[in-house]
Amino acid sequence: MNSVPQLRQPCPPGACDCQRERLQDSPGADLRILLLTRAEEKRLLERLENLRDLNDLRHMQQRMYQQLGIHVQVVPGLNEVRSMRGIAIHIADHPGLCRKTRQAIPAAIRRGLERQPEIAYRLLDEHDLLRDA
């Protein structure tokens, strides 16, 4: 028996700019983002806070794109990187993605990087910023 997946509850009117209605009204629109319920969002954020290494971060980026259509980019910032705030985390605009979720994902990734600074070092190394160190 196939059950209908539970969709995320809509945000209160005027509280968010997620454009959920526009997404639902568009024929053939990618509705995967609406599968991210509040409970699933909590699991995702917890998982992002407990990253093991850079490969784990890349795996999570890939899974978020495959399952939800969310494209997350994590790269060293344009200026000198002195703390985790120097790591640029961008989420591509995506209709249906709640404003709070758009803010929570980068915050969870930063907390994960703070817990495992080795990930940030590997990220910098990947972009040749520590080439001569």
Query: Residue 112 pLDDT > 70, yes or no?
Result: yes
Span 47-95, pLDDT tens digits: 999 999 999 999 999 999 999 999 999 988 766 665 566 788 999 988 8
Are 87 and 76 a contacting pair, CB within 8 Å? yes
Q: How confident is the model at residue 129 (pLDDT cuts 50, 70, 90)?
A: low
- What integer pLDDT is reported at residue 24 of this predicted model? 82
Q: What is the DSSP letter of 75?
A: E
The total number of residues shown for the chain amounts to 133
CA–CA separation, 89 vs 123, rounded Å?
12
What amino acid occupies position 27? P
Q: What percent of the chain shows pLDDT beyond 70?
A: 86
pLDDT level of residue 10 (50, 70, 90 thresholds): confident
Residue 45 above 80 pLDDT?
yes
> Given this model, what pLDDT does residue 2 score?
58
DSSP 90: E
The pTM of this model reads: 0.84
